[in-house]
C-alpha cells in the first residue's frame, strides 16, 4: 500500500501518518505538505527516520510536484487545507486557493495517473448549522463561512469527477476533532494552553454553540476504513457522538487543570457563527466503524498531553501567532482602561 498523504504535517494528518505506520506494517507513505503556519515538522519527529516514510515540502496546487508524486502511489488521502474559520473571515483567498484549486489539481492528476482510490477529508461544517436533529449525507450543503464554503467547493468538484470520469473518490465529513498536536488557534488547545498560562479564555457570544467532538485517533480509524472499504462516489459522516456546548468544554478544561472559572472572558461573537453541528453516522457505522475513545477519557488524556508537552506548543505561540491573536482578540480582551483610551484616541 503506497499512499500519498497531503497535509500530513498538520494536526489530523500527522496523527494519521503515525496511525497508519503503526497499524499497517507494509504501508509506505509520502507526505506532501506546504508547511504553512499550521504545518509543523515537530508533529512527526518520532517517525521521521522510519524507512517507510518520506516527507516532501510542496503545494497541492502545484501540478508538477503533485503529478510526479502521484506516479508512485496507489492511494491519495488529502488533509491539506486552510482550516481555521476565523482566519477565513479575515482572509478568504488562501482558502479558495488550497481548498478548491488545490483539490482540483489533485483530482486532475489522480485521473491522469489512474490512482486507485482518493479520499478527501472534509468536514461536517459543509452542512451549516442545525437547530434540531442531525444531518445525513443526503442533506443539502449550506456552508456559512468562507472555510466551509471552500471545503464544499472541493467536495462538489470531487463528486463531479466521480460522475463524469468515474474517478474513485470518497469523501469523509468529520466533526470537530481534538487530540495531541492541534495548532493552538482551535478552541481546545487554545483554551488549555491559555489556562496553563493563567491568561483569559476568550469565549465567543453566549458560549452555547454546540459542536460534536471526535478524538483524532477515531477520526483516523474512520479514514482508514473508508480508504479500504468506502464505495467510490460516496460520502461518509464521521462524528464522535459527543455534543457539548462551548461553555461545557471550557468548564471541563478548567476543572481538569484545577484553574478558576474567572479565567473565562466573554468576547464578541464570531461573524456567521454556526449554532450547532450534528451529523447522523449510521452509514459509516454500517461499514463497521465505532469511535473508541470516551469523551471524558479522551479529554483527560488530551489536556494532560498539552500540560506535559510545553516544548511542542510554547514556541508556536510567538511571532505570526501573536500577530493573529492580536488581530482576532484585541478588542474583546482589552481592559476597561484600554478601551477608554482607545475610544478617546
Residue 103: exposure state from Cβ atoms within 10 A (0-12, 13-18, ≥19): buried
DSSP code of residue 132: S
End-to-end CA distance of the chain: 62
321 given a catalytic annotation: no
Residues 228-287 that bind ligand TYD (CB under 6 A): 246, 270
* Helix or strand holding residue 243 (H, E): strand 243-245
296 given a catalytic annotation: no
Q: 55 vs 329, which CB is nearer to ligand NAD?
A: 55
Looking at 20, 120, 167, 203, which residue binds ligand TYD (CB under 6 A)?
203
In terms of C-beta distances under 8 Å and separation of at least 24 residues, what long-range contacts does 324-331 make, across chains too? 324/87, 324/185, 327/90, 328/86, 328/90, 329/202, 329/267, 331/268
Angle at Cα 230 formed by Cα 228 and Cα 235, nearest 5°? 145
Looking at 34, 87, 186, 215, which residue binds ligand TYD (CB under 6 A)?
186
147 given a catalytic annotation: yes
Contact 187, 246 (CB under 8 A): yes
Q: What gap in Å lies between CA 298 and CA 203, rounded to an integer? A: 22
Mark the segment that binds ligand NAD (CB under 6 A) among 11-19, 193-201, 220-228, 243-251.
Answer: 11-19
Is residue 209 within the footprint of ligand TYD (CB under 6 A)? Answer: yes
Is residue 190 within the footprint of ligand TYD (CB under 6 A)? Answer: yes
Residue 213 site contact among ligand NAD, ligand TYD, none (CB < 5 to 8 Å, cut-off depends on kind): none
Is residue 187 within the footprint of ligand TYD (CB under 6 A)? Answer: yes
Smallest gap, in angstroms, from Cβ of residue 270 to ligand TYD? 6
User: Cα 36 to chain center, whole Å?
Assistant: 14
Q: Which residue ranges make up the site for ligand NAD (CB under 6 A)?
A: 6-7, 9-13, 33-36, 38-39, 59-61, 79-83, 98, 102, 121, 123, 151, 174, 176-177, 183
Q: Which residue ranges make up the site for ligand TYD (CB under 6 A)?
A: 85, 176, 186-187, 190, 202-204, 209, 211, 246, 270
Task: Give me the active site residues, please.
Answer: 124-125, 147
Amino acid at each position: 500500500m503506497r499512499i500519498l498523504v497531503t497535509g500530513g504535517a498538520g494536526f489530523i494528518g500527522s496523527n494519521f501518518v503515525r496511525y497508519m505506520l503503526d497499524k499497517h506494517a507494509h504501508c509506505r507513505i509520502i507526505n506532501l505538505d506546504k508547511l504553512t503556519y499550521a504545518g509543523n515538522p515537530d508533529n512527526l519527529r518520532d517517525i521521521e527516520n522510519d524507512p517507510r516514510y518520506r516527507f516532501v515540502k510542496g503545494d497541492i496546487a502545484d501540478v508538477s510536484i503533485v503529478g510526479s508524486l502521484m506516479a508512485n502511489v496507489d492511494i491519495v488521502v488529502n488533509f491539506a487545507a486552510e482550516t481555521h474559520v476565523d482566519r477565513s473571515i479575515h482572509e478568504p483567498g488562501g482558502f479558495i486557493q488550497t481548498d478548491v484549486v488545490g483539490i482540483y489539481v489533485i483530482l486532475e492528476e489522480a485521473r491522469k495517473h489512474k490512482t486507485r482510490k482518493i479520499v478527501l477529508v472534509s468536514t461536517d461544517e459543509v452542512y451549516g448549522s442545525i437547530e434540531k436533529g442531525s444531518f445525513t449525507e443526503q442533506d443539502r450543503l449550506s456552508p456559512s463561512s468562507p472555510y466551509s464554503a471552500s471545503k464544499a467547493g472541493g467536495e462538489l468538484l470531487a463528486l463531479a469527477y466521480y460522475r463524469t470520469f468515474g474517478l474513485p473518490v470518497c469523501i469523509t465529513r468529520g466533526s470537530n476533532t481534538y487530540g495531541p498536536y492541534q495548532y493552538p488557534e482551535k478552541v481546545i488547545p487554545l483554551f488549555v494552553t491559555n489556562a496553563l498560562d493563567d491568561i483569559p479564555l476568550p469565549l465567543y457570544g453566549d458560549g452555547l454553540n454546540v459542536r460534536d467532538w471526535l478524538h483524532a485517533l477515531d477520526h483516523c480509524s474512520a479514514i482508514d476504513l473508508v480508504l479500504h472499504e468506502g464505495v467510490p462516489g460516496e460520502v461518509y459522516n464521521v462524528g464522535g457522538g459527543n455534543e457539548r456546548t462551548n461553555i461545557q468544554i471550557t468548564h471541563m478544561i478548567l476543572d481538569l487543570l484545577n484553574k478558576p472559572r474567572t479565567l473565562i472572558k466573554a468576547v464578541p461573537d464570531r461573524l456567521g457563527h454556526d449554532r450547532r453541528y450534528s451529523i447522523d453516522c449510521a452509514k459509516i457505522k454500517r461499514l463497521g466503524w465505532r469511535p473508541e475513545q470516551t469523551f471524558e477519557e479522551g479529554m483527560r488524556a488530551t489536556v494532560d498531553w498539552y500540560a506535559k508537552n510545553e516544548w511542542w506548543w510554547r514556541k508556536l505561540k510567538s511571532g505570526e501567532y501573536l500577530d493573529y491573536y492580536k488581530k482576532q482578540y484585541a478588542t474583546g480582551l482589552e481592559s476597561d482602561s484600554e478601551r477608554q483610551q482607545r475610544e478617546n484616541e
